[in-house]
Amino acid sequence: MNPAQPTSKEMGAAQSTAVVAKRPRGSNLVARWPKTLLLAALVASFVLWWFSNHINPYYADILIKIGINIILAVSLNLINGYTGQFSLGHAGFMSVGAYTSAAVTMFVAPSLIGATPSTALTVACFVLALYVGGLVAAVAGILVGAPSLRLKGDYLAIVTLGFGEIIRVIFRNIPKLGGALGLNGIPPYTNLFWVFGTAAICTYVVLALVHSTYGRGFIAVQDDEVAAEAMGINTTRYKIVAFVIGAFFAGIAGGLYGHYTLSIDPKGFDFMRSIEIVVMVILGGMGNTTGVIFAAILLTLLPEWLRTFEQYRMILYSFLLVVLMLTRPQGLFAWRRKTKPILAA
Amino acid sequence: MASQNETNSRGMSATLLNLEHCTIRFGGLTAVSDLNVRIGENELVGLIGPNGAGKTTVFNLVTGVYEPTEGRIQFSGEDIVGEAPFEITKRGIARTFQNIRLFPSLSVYDNVRAAFRLHIKHGVVQAMWRGGGFVAEEQGIEGQVMEMLDIFKLGKFRDVPAKSLPYGDQRRLEIVRALATRPKLLLLDEPAAGMNPTEKVDLMKLIRFIEEKYRISVLLVEHDMQVVMGICRRIIVLDHGVQIAEGTPEQVRANPKVIEAYLGQ
Amino acid sequence: MSEFLQQVINGLSLGAIYALIALGYTMVYGILRFINFAHSDVFMVGAFMGFYAGKILPHESMLGGIGALVFAMLVCAILGILIERFAYRPLREGSKLTVLITAIGVSLLLESGGQYLFGADPKSFPMMFPSKEFSLGGIAISSNQILVFVATAVLLVALQFIVLKTKIGTAMRAVSFNPQAASLVGINNDVVISFTFGIGSALAAVGGILYSSNYPSIDPYMGILPGLKAFVAAVLGGIGNIPGAAMGGILLGVIETFVNGSRYSTYTDAIAFTVLILILLFKPAGILGKLHVEKV
């Protein structure tokens, strides 16, 4: 209700072109050749793995961490960035996937494929384990998502945080999974191909989903739930779908992580880990997948760069976080600018 | 049009929306009391009343945002009380909001596209697989959205974020978005708010145009007498949650209760 | 029976500490509508200030204890005001999410800063107050527990008095109800908000010292869990509601103590969150809270 607002269309158009943000560059490519890009990314992951023997182990280690963080951040971005459901429980989903898939390869697989299986069988079992881990995490996603649907903003954040902590306490109380000491002796199946192949699939799934008429519903839910419902969008269902898909990939990331570090314990999935992932999403610019990928890379490298200042590492990290929030709350890589609406409605 | 007028004034057309003895209380406050409203097919009805009369509450009751404390609401002969807002939209009731609730970060195009949710066949799986059926459907939707945007002169704003549209265009976009759900009944909540006289005339033309082109019913909540009197053939007047008058613009204008409610004593 | 009563007493004293921390959450939430994640670390700083005050002040004396309390309250009040001034105030018009992340950032900063300044290894908290065990018909009550009850009761009454009877309290309620309207009638919102942070942080400092007196091992990360639980207590009682926070804290303390005494003790840390999820599902406004309905 601002009568002073320019209403003539020319002015409006001029003003709009000034404000209009170019659609994220990646989105056009994805819209045109989505499957080709996915294939290319998978081939690239394969090539990367093929030459992994020539990569300095230190860099290979960082690459793996980057890949896992990309999966985590991109999948959380579907929940946080696109659907607007602030979740602080991503590490919880990750732990479900990590423990489940480790249990499959350690306790179930040997009885299925024998003690000395062929490579193909091992690979098949690993894929199955990752998949089962993802599915169980997705079930956890429903369990967390469903009751949380009535909550918004920081309440949802604290409840998802609580769920993550509850999951941790539960793992701590399962002796078969190592209890508080953690689970050791997970077979070393994870390599660069699996990590980046999964990252590629995860990114594809999120982008393909969001770039569809169905998927615009996620953003509609984030923008205005009441309006979304009034347009026939089942907001409850969308939120659950976002939680399920997000948790599924977090679970797979957990499986990859477990089969890389070879030992997991409940402490490694505490809420600090969830916050790290959230920070990637926020710095990347909520709902901007390309930016989130960059942020995941940057925030994996940052601690490495800060290694020389080991003592001050966390201080610097948290200080930078606060400063960034104060100066660039829309994220480091925000192309889709979130300006204030013209009307303070 | 002429025959339409006649059936409407005699109340002979089939009932689309029917509110019977609807009451809603918030704590001790009765916002709407024992309201009976009947809207027929292809009818343009105005709902007016002074500030705080409960007009928007009626919209929220019909669209499932609130549930009535007492009474029943039927749409096309079926009870809709207790259904979620999205289910009611699915039945064919669409609305706009008094304080404009577009999807601010989505483009003009995507605002309308999001409202096609009810009419798409694809879901998560098809969106990921991107097969021939999906692509064809998306192209079909693009055509329909652009057609609607062009009809309402919003086509050139296609890729502009909804939040950066000029005010009048935002109001129009909200109406287009509501129409995209293919409603049988369109609820407009103070569409003329904040408009200047020229824009109001345009709006009146637009509402008539919608009624004729899409053959739907419109329930119009409006503060502005000129707009309501100008286009509605039947007007319901609320005051303090109670219906105080109903009839043609002339009847309502002459009703002493209405004059009292608007001018006070 | 006496074991039951013993558990009740232990639960009440733990709950009273939760209540003190919960007050800070609830007051800030009541006014600014966000979870001040850094509050749990102000609690930690309070404990460390007590620890350092103990290096100078006499141990096991009321004077030394009260001196440590006053010192920690002052430092924490200033810390809370500074945090609000520099981290939260610039974002007051920003999105809730940004503020929440900033709060988490401040929390991490205090923890890592604490680790650098105070050291990462746990320290043992000195006995600041005179310590004695009383026995009442088979139930053991320590002087520390009595101290917790007395301190919490006094501070609660004082806080209720400030909020309900004083000018600044009226201003606090006005800002909480409607900040725009409050500033229109001449209330300086910034001063009121600073005051709120100051009071809340001072209460957290008291909580920190009393907690450490009962569980005398302190480290820079000690605030996280009690902080989260105190937040749950605030939600349980109805966020924004001062008597509610006290009630929620005590209730949660008692529940937790009973679980800890049962064979499910390893699940103690999950109890608070289970309570939180249940309360939000079945009575989202909390026990004493009022529900806000979104206007459409």
ipTM summary value: 0.90
Enumerate helices (H) and strands (E) in chain A, giving the number of each: 15, 2
Residue B85 at interface with chain C, using a CB cutoff of 8 Å: no
In this predicted structure, the answer to whether residue A22 has a pLDDT above a threshold of 50 is no
Structure tokens, A43: 């081939």
Confidence bin at A339 (pLDDT 50/70/90): very low
Residue A342 at interface with chain B, using a CB cutoff of 8 Å: yes
Of residues A93 and C131, the one with the higher pLDDT is A93
Confidence bin at A124 (pLDDT 50/70/90): very high
Residue A95 neighbours by CB under 8 Å, 6+ apart: A164, A167, A168, A171, A254, A264, A266, A268, A269
The model's pLDDT over C36-92, given as tens digits with 9 standing for 90+, comes to: 999 999 999 999 999 999 999 998 888 999 999 999 999 999 999 999 999 999 998
Which residues in chain C are contacts of A159 at CB distance < 8 A?
A: 273, 276-277, 280
b/e map A175-186, b = 16+ CB within 10 Å: eebbeeebbeeb
Phi-psi region of A184 (alpha: psi -120 to 50; beta: other; left: phi over 0): beta
Contact C73, C205 (CB under 8 A): yes
Contact B191, B171 (CB under 8 A): yes
Decide if C290 is inside a domain. Answer: no
pLDDT mean over A293-319: 87
Residue B21 neighbours by CB under 8 Å, 6+ apart: B34, B35, B36, B70, B71, B72
Which residues in chain A are contacts of C280 at CB distance < 8 A?
A: 147, 150-151, 155, 159
Which residues in chain C are contacts of B60 at CB distance < 8 A?
A: 296
Contact B68, B53 (CB under 8 A): no
Structure tokens, B15: 């009932």
In this predicted structure, the answer to whether residue A7 has a pLDDT above a threshold of 70 is no
| H or E element that contains C221 | none
Q: Which chains sit next to B, with 3 or more Cβ pairs under 8 A?
A: A, C
Nearest neighbour of A20 by CB, restricted to B94, B117, B160:
B160
Nearest neighbour of A154 by CB, restricted to C34, C91, C281:
C34
Best of A166, A171, A223 to mutate (most C CBs within 10 Å, chain C) = A166
Contact C80, C201 (CB under 8 A): yes
Which residues in chain C are contacts of B56 at CB distance < 8 A?
A: 296
Which residues in chain B are contacts of C293 at CB distance < 8 A?
A: 26
Instruction: Identify the weakest region by mean pLDDT among A7-16, A109-118, A213-222, C17-26.
Output: A7-16
Residue A38 at interface with chain B, using a CB cutoff of 8 Å: no
Q: C296 CA to chain B: closest CA distance, Å?
A: 8
pLDDT mean over B142-166: 93
Phi-psi region of B190 (alpha: psi -120 to 50; beta: other; left: phi over 0): left
Q: Which residue has the tokens 């009740």?
A: C8
Phi-psi region of B71 (alpha: psi -120 to 50; beta: other; left: phi over 0): left
The dihedral formed by the CA atoms of B89, B95, B100 and B104, expressed in degrees to the nearest 10: 30
**Residues in C lying within 8 Å of A, measured between beta carbons:** 34-35, 87, 90-91, 94-98, 100-102, 104-109, 111-113, 115-116, 228, 231-232, 235, 266-267, 269-270, 272-274, 276-277, 280-281, 284, 294, 296
* C 237-296 → B contacts, CB under 8 A: 293, 296
pLDDT of residue C294: 56
Do the chains contact at B26 and C293, CB–CB below 8 Å? Answer: yes
Q: A175 CA to chain C: closest CA distance, Å?
A: 12
How far is Cα C19 from Cα B263, in angstroms, rounded to an integer?
A: 54
pLDDT of residue A12: 38
pLDDT of residue C2: 80
Best of B61, B62, B65, B86 to mutate (most A CBs within 10 Å, chain A) = B86
Nearest neighbour of C98 by CB, restricted to A159, A161, A329:
A329
pLDDT of residue B112: 96
In this predicted structure, the answer to whether residue A10 has a pLDDT above a threshold of 50 is no
CA atoms within 13 A on the CB side of C83: 30
pLDDT mean over B158-187: 94
In this predicted structure, the answer to whether residue A23 has a pLDDT above a threshold of 70 is no
Residue A10 at interface with chain B, using a CB cutoff of 8 Å: no
Nearest CA in chain A to C88: A326
In this predicted structure, the answer to whether residue C22 has a pLDDT above a threshold of 50 is yes
In this predicted structure, the answer to whether residue A21 has a pLDDT above a threshold of 90 is no
CA atoms within 13 A on the CB side of C67: 16
Which residues in chain C are contacts of A162 at CB distance < 8 A?
A: 228, 232, 272-274, 276-277
pLDDT of residue A13: 39
pLDDT mean over C119-132: 90
Decide if C89 is inside a domain. Answer: yes
The model's pLDDT over A130-182, given as tens digits with 9 standing for 90+, comes to: 999 999 999 999 988 887 777 777 788 888 988 998 999 999 999 999 998 99
In this predicted structure, the answer to whether residue B1 has a pLDDT above a threshold of 60 is no
Decide if C242 is inside a domain. Answer: no
Residue C246, amino acid:
A
Q: Which residue has the tokens 């966000």?
A: C34
Q: Supply the mean pLDDT for chain A.
A: 85
pLDDT of residue C82: 97
Question: pLDDT exceeding 90 applies to what percent of chain C?
Answer: 63
The model's pLDDT over A248-302, given as tens digits with 9 standing for 90+, comes to: 999 999 999 999 999 999 999 988 899 999 999 988 988 899 999 999 999 999 8
In this predicted structure, the answer to whether residue B4 has a pLDDT above a threshold of 50 is no
In this predicted structure, the answer to whether residue A17 has a pLDDT above a threshold of 50 is no
How far is Cα B222 from Cα B225, in angstroms, rounded to an integer?
A: 7
pLDDT of residue A11: 39
* A 229-248 → B contacts, CB under 8 A: 229-236, 241, 245
Confidence bin at A343 (pLDDT 50/70/90): very low
Which residues in chain A are contacts of B118 at CB distance < 8 A?
A: 232
Nearest neighbour of A318 by CB, restricted to C108, C274, C280:
C108
* Counted domains in chain C: 1
Domain B2-92+183-263: which CATH number of 2.60.40.10, 3.40.50.620, 3.40.630.30, 3.40.50.300: 3.40.50.300
In this predicted structure, the answer to whether residue B29 has a pLDDT above a threshold of 50 is yes
How far is Cα C285 from Cα C281, in angstroms, rounded to an integer?
A: 10
pLDDT mean over B112-134: 92
Residue A16 at interface with chain B, using a CB cutoff of 8 Å: yes
Which residues in chain C are contacts of A226 at CB distance < 8 A?
A: 294, 296
Q: Read out DSSP for C51-114?
A: HHHHHHSPSSSHHHHHHHHHHHHHHHHHHHHHHIIIIIGGGTTS-HHHHHHHHHHHHHHHHHHH
Q: Supply the mean pLDDT for chain C.
A: 90
* Rg over CA atoms, chain C: 19
Strand arrangement, sheet containing B15-26: B29-40, B15-26, B70-75, B78-79
| H or E element that contains C296 | none
Q: Which of C285, C172, C178, C184 is nearest to C239 (CA)?
A: C285
Instruction: Identify the weakest region by mean pLDDT among A75-79, A82-86, C78-82, C288-292.
Output: C288-292
Instruction: Give the highest mean pLDDT range of A17-31, A107-121, B117-131.
Output: B117-131
Phi-psi region of C238 (alpha: psi -120 to 50; beta: other; left: phi over 0): left
pLDDT of residue A15: 38
Q: A319 CA to chain C: closest CA distance, Å?
A: 6
Do the chains contact at A15 and B65, CB–CB below 8 Å? Answer: no
Nearest CA in chain C to A165: C270
pLDDT mean over A122-129: 94
Nearest neighbour of A21 by CB, restricted to B103, B138, B161:
B161
Do the chains contact at C296 and B97, CB–CB below 8 Å? Answer: yes
pLDDT of residue C229: 92
Which residues in chain B are contacts of A223 at CB distance < 8 A?
A: 102-106
- Tell me which residue range forms the domain holding C52: 2-225
How many residues comprise chain A? 345
Q: C59 CA to chain A: closest CA distance, Å?
A: 33
Q: Domain limits of chain B?
A: 2-92+183-263, 111-182
pLDDT of residue A334: 62
Best of C110, C277, C281 to mutate (most A CBs within 10 Å, chain A) = C277
Q: A80 CA to chain B: closest CA distance, Å?
A: 15
Residue A259 neighbours by CB under 8 Å, 6+ apart: A101, A102, A105, A126, A129, A186, A187, A188, A189, A190
Confidence bin at C292 (pLDDT 50/70/90): low
Do the chains contact at A322 and C90, CB–CB below 8 Å? Answer: no
pLDDT of residue C258: 93
Do the chains contact at C269 and A150, CB–CB below 8 Å? Answer: no
Q: Which chains sit next to C, with 3 or more Cβ pairs under 8 A?
A: A, B
Q: Supply the mean pLDDT for chain B.
A: 90
Nearest neighbour of A154 by CB, restricted to C35, C91, C266:
C35
pLDDT mean over C138-162: 91
Distances (CA, A) of B8 to A103, B42, B43, B188, B253: 70, 9, 7, 20, 19
Q: Which chains sit next to A, with 3 or more Cβ pairs under 8 A?
A: B, C
Size of interface A-C (CB pairs under 8 A): 113
In this predicted structure, the answer to whether residue C158 has a pLDDT above a threshold of 80 is yes
Does the pTM exceed 0.90?
no
In this predicted structure, the answer to whether residue A197 has a pLDDT above a threshold of 90 is yes
In this predicted structure, the answer to whether residue A26 has a pLDDT above a threshold of 80 is no
Nearest CA in chain B to A287: B105
Q: Read out DSSP for chain B?
A: -HHHHHHHHHT-SPEEEEEEEEEEEETTEEEEEEEEEEEETT-EEEEE-STTSSHHHHHHHHTTSS--SEEEEEETTEE-TT--HHHHHHHTEEE--TT----TTSBHHHHHHHGGGGG----HHHHHH--HHHHHHHHHHHHHHHHHHHHTT-GGGTTSBGGGS-HHHHHHHHHHHHHHT--SEEEEESTTTT--HHHHHHHHHHHHHHHHHH--EEEEE-S-HHHHHHH-SEEEEEETTEEEEEE-HHHHHH-HHHHHHHH--
Do the chains contact at B56 and C296, CB–CB below 8 Å? Answer: yes
In this predicted structure, the answer to whether residue A9 has a pLDDT above a threshold of 60 is no
CA atoms within 13 A on the CB side of C54: 21
Contact B49, B75 (CB under 8 A): no
Confidence bin at C283 (pLDDT 50/70/90): confident
Do the chains contact at C296 and B65, CB–CB below 8 Å? Answer: yes
Enumerate helices (H) and strands (E) in chain C, giving the number of each: 11, 4
